Structure 1
Amino acid sequence: MGGRVRRAAATALLGLLLAGCATFPDQGPREWREQVEGAGELGGPPVIPEPTPPQSPPPGGDAGQPGAPQQATGCVDPDPQVVATCLEPVGAIAVLPDGRSALVAERATGRVLRVQRGADPVLVTTVPVDPSGGGGLTGLVLSPSYAEDQLVYAYATTREDNRVVRIAPGEAPKPVLTGIPRGPRNNSGALGVDVDGSLLVATGDAGGDPAAPGSLAGKLLRIDTLGRPAPGNPDPASLVLSSGLRAPGGICIDPVTTMVWVTDRTGTQDVLHLVVPGPLPAPAWTWPDRPGVAGCVAQPGLVAIALTGAASLFVLHPGDNAMFTGTPEKMLTNTYGRLSAAAFAPDGLLWLGTVNKAGGKPVPSDDRVIRIQPPAGGGESRT
């Protein structure tokens, strides 16, 4: 599990970056502990129910009031939390500024679709992808200046490499950063936007050494929107912020504390990293049972991680110093199946995507995008 991270080391490392870079906890890694199913509340009453036998849909209802899913007929799903149905396995979600619609990336097809409850999905573009080795279309994020430029960035695996591409209205996807190594496995990647507007790019190790100098594989990159090193990187000439990733599933940034978290699957355990410049230290949290960590979201007092294999949402409560407080919660277990992508909307609702057609037990309306109330944040950290 590794030793404790010293505060002095934190100060020295953080001094390398400008505003917007992460802090890290004065603690060793924490392990997953089993929690009673249904414990806690999803943004207040009512408590998330476990699945129940099919029944008639309740009258009325709106997104954000959790309820047990109803029986779907074909692509029609009466569950009020379901936004979109009959998709291919979801690789990433980027919620649009209106909070009612989102762009959804299908991992294996490379399609980017605009979805909204009550409307058919609309094809925005198709990014050429090669989904072998866990790759495909696995990252999607709005431009930091989306309101002005309407640009979207995606992380994609091609036959030649892994890369970041830019999607503009009415245009074919254009490369921003190419040459990220691809290999027989661990080609997944993720995207995020740091609080200063830099793009964060988590890359898989492609089956190689994630610490290899000079390689962009197994790294957390920090770039500008043209693919150049972002100001404030440890090495001004390098794209690399941190190193040591294997098969990252998601990046999530707390906009208030500026802490950056990355989920990763190491082969021996699943982990959650709090990002620091340079080689990543011991994980902040570990799951020895490897539940399949994927996308994540963060806000003060909350880090929520979509679990694919465990078909649930795992919730941790970090304090201001990133030390976890209270007991972790495991929610939505088997309610919607295998969860993958996760994203916050401007109105505070949590969007999730499923991958039930990829190794799960799909219902007629799978794969789906869901919009729910987020779990409540935590309180003050322990001293």
Structure 2
Amino acid sequence: MTAVLTAAALLLAAGCSGDGADKPAESAARATESSGAPPSESAKASGGRTPPAKGAVDVERTVTEGLGSPWGLAPLPGGDLLVSSRDEGTISRVDSGSGKRVELGSVPGVAAAGEGGLMGIALSPSFASDQMVYAYFTTASDNRIARMLYDEGKPAGQQLGAPDTVLRGIPKGMIHNGGRIAFGPDKLLYAGTGEVGETGLSQDKKSLAGKILRMTPEGEPAPGNPLGDDSYVYSFGHRNVQGLAWDEEKRLWASEFGQNTWDELNQIVAGDNYGWPEVEGKAGKDGFHDPVAQWQTSEASPSGIAYAEGSIWMAGLRGERLWRIPVSGTDGGGEPQAFLKEEYGRLRTVVGAGTDKLWLATSETDGRGTPKKGDDRVLELKVK
């Protein structure tokens, strides 16, 4: 454990984007590497298709504020929202109308440190009947995924049942713990993991680190996974995946932290190698799947993503902005647009709140922001 913590500390000191930290050494390296480069690049639509027309987004209202280190968001049937706190290890319910918060309870075993803690949450595909909430979190020994019964009939603070671990043994570190989980259109559970600062794990097909994993709701490797029915690995060669979303064509998209040069939005193909640590950004090298879009790390450091109105919407931490990347009607992606630049600080998670609405969580209280009165908050956005 000491060796892992020492390695993580060295990586942080050397300059590593992680959750969007802006270290002096890192800033200097990025300034040098980005000199003369365009502010952003994106893949153009292929096959002669024309990218969709540009759109926009407006902030309609603040749903709630005063949150501490919010990380995961999960919309409930009926319109309310579950929010996880990375550092506090709790899950709360937010009334989407009044903004009133009720703490459901704490997740036992959460060991919050560095970029680890209670991160992504997701509802069971059968939530209406089983009332199960899934969570990805860091313990003293690993990252793991567990499910808990949500019992509204119990008193506030006691509404989460004992965790039933569905997957354990995902490597943990002070940095790059991944943490996003989501159920896909196939009703299977997907998880984005990080390489915890040990770059070789991304290319190690036997490791759960630096991957997108796919499993059954019970935590077994999903039948038909590309590396065999005994493997959880759906794609590999990732540095730190914190965003997962599917479009109307059921294509999977993932956001990924770069190191010093390029952050990425990837279209995920089962079994493909996304390059880390051999390549960062678009390399055009055989055997590696290039990203659809890439950004200077100062412009993004992306976490959550969502799909709405023909586009992927991507929350930026260090970039402090919300990116829109048109994807419908294209084989790749249209030109990205930035919204809310430096208006609300670091942006952590974005999820769909209806056909043309999004919920967006800020991340100023995660130890790397500059909290202002009201931080952190959840905003409701209108997509136009």
Could you tell me the TM-score, scaled by structure 2's length? 0.75
Greater alpha carbon shift after TM alignment, 358-367 vs 156-165: 358-367
Match of 1:243 in 2: 236
Secondary structure of 1:132's counterpart equals coil
Match of 1:231 in 2: 223
- 1:321 Cα offset (Å): 4.1
Is the 8 Å Cα contact of residues 314 and 331 (structure 1) preserved in structure 2? yes
In 2, distance between residues paired with 1:91 and 1:305?
14
In 2, distance between residues paired with 1:322 and 1:315?
16
Secondary structure of 1:147's counterpart equals helix
Q: Deviations over 1:323-351 (max 9, x none)?
A: 223x3211112222211011102454200
Is the 8 Å Cα contact of residues 193 and 242 (structure 2) preserved in structure 1? no
Is the 8 Å Cα contact of residues 146 and 164 (structure 2) preserved in structure 1? yes
Is the 8 Å Cα contact of residues 219 and 242 (structure 1) preserved in structure 2? yes
Match of 1:78 in 2: none
In 2, distance between residues paired with 1:319 and 1:346?
18
In 1, distance between residues paired with 2:178 and 2:115?
6
Is the 8 Å Cα contact of residues 345 and 351 (structure 1) preserved in structure 2? yes
Is the 8 Å Cα contact of residues 92 and 342 (structure 1) preserved in structure 2? no
In 2, distance between residues paired with 1:237 and 1:311?
40
- Alignment partner of 2:327 out of 313, 318, 330: 318
Amino acid of the residue matched to residue 270 of structure 1?
A: D
- Alignment partner of 2:117 out of 122, 126, 136: 136
Match of 1:98 in 2: 78
Could you tell me the TM-score, scaled by structure 1's length? 0.75
Is it true that 1:362 corresponds to 2:341 in the alignment?
no
- 1:33 Cα offset (Å): 5.0
Q: Deviations over 1:238-270 (max 9, x none)?
A: 11111111111211111x211111111131321
- 1:308 Cα offset (Å): 1.1
Is the 8 Å Cα contact of residues 309 and 356 (structure 2) preserved in structure 1? no
Q: Give runs of aligned pairs for residues 215-364 of structure 1, distance below 5 A.
A: 215-234=207-226, 235-254=228-247, 256-268=248-260, 269-278=262-271, 279-280=273-274, 281-290=289-298, 291-299=300-308, 301-325=310-334, 327-346=335-354, 348-358=356-366, 359-364=368-373
Secondary structure of 2:169's counterpart equals strand
Match of 1:179 in 2: 169
- 1:231 Cα offset (Å): 2.2
Amino acid of the residue matched to residue 138 of structure 1?
A: M
**Residues 347 and 288 (structure 1 numbering): CA distance in 2 closer, same or farther, change over 3 Å?**
closer
Match of 1:125 in 2: 105
In 1, distance between residues paired with 2:346 and 2:297?
16
In 1, distance between residues paired with 2:291 and 2:204?
19
Match of 1:112 in 2: 91
Amino acid of the residue matched to residue 92 of structure 2?
A: L
In 2, distance between residues paired with 1:362 and 1:41?
30
Secondary structure of 2:350's counterpart equals strand
Is the 8 Å Cα contact of residues 74 and 122 (structure 2) preserved in structure 1? yes
- 1:304 Cα offset (Å): 0.6
In 2, distance between residues paired with 1:103 and 1:174?
19
**Residues 125 and 174 (structure 1 numbering): CA distance in 2 closer, same or farther, change over 3 Å?**
farther
Higher helix share: 2
- 1:119 Cα offset (Å): 4.5
In 2, distance between residues paired with 1:319 and 1:184?
37
- 1:107 Cα offset (Å): 1.1
Q: Deviations over 1:162-221 (max 9, x none)?
A: 000102124122211101111242113211111110000111111222111211111111
Amino acid of the residue matched to residue 111 of structure 2?
A: D
Match of 2:196 in 1: 206
Gaps of 5+ in 1: 1-29, 49-65, 68-80, 377-383
Secondary structure of 2:332's counterpart equals coil
Q: Deviations over 1:100-128 (max 9, x none)?
A: x1000111111100002424311112123
Greater alpha carbon shift after TM alignment, 207-216 vs 194-203: 207-216
- 1:299 Cα offset (Å): 4.0
Amino acid of the residue matched to residue 264 of structure 2?
A: V
Secondary structure of 1:134's counterpart equals coil
Is it true that 1:42 corresponds to 2:56 in the alignment?
yes
In 1, distance between residues paired with 2:302 and 2:133?
24
In 2, distance between residues paired with 1:372 and 1:299?
11
Is the 8 Å Cα contact of residues 297 and 319 (structure 2) preserved in structure 1? no
Is the 8 Å Cα contact of residues 136 and 188 (structure 1) preserved in structure 2? no
In 1, distance between residues paired with 2:76 and 2:113?
29
**Residues 347 and 287 (structure 1 numbering): CA distance in 2 closer, same or farther, change over 3 Å?**
closer
Match of 2:62 in 1: 82
Is it true that 1:155 corresponds to 2:133 in the alignment?
no
Aligned residue pairs, count: 305
- 1:300 Cα offset (Å): 5.8
Gaps of 5+ in 2: 1-37, 43-52, 151-158, 275-288
Is the 8 Å Cα contact of residues 192 and 253 (structure 1) preserved in structure 2? no
In 2, distance between residues paired with 1:300 and 1:40?
11
In 1, distance between residues paired with 2:358 and 2:339?
13
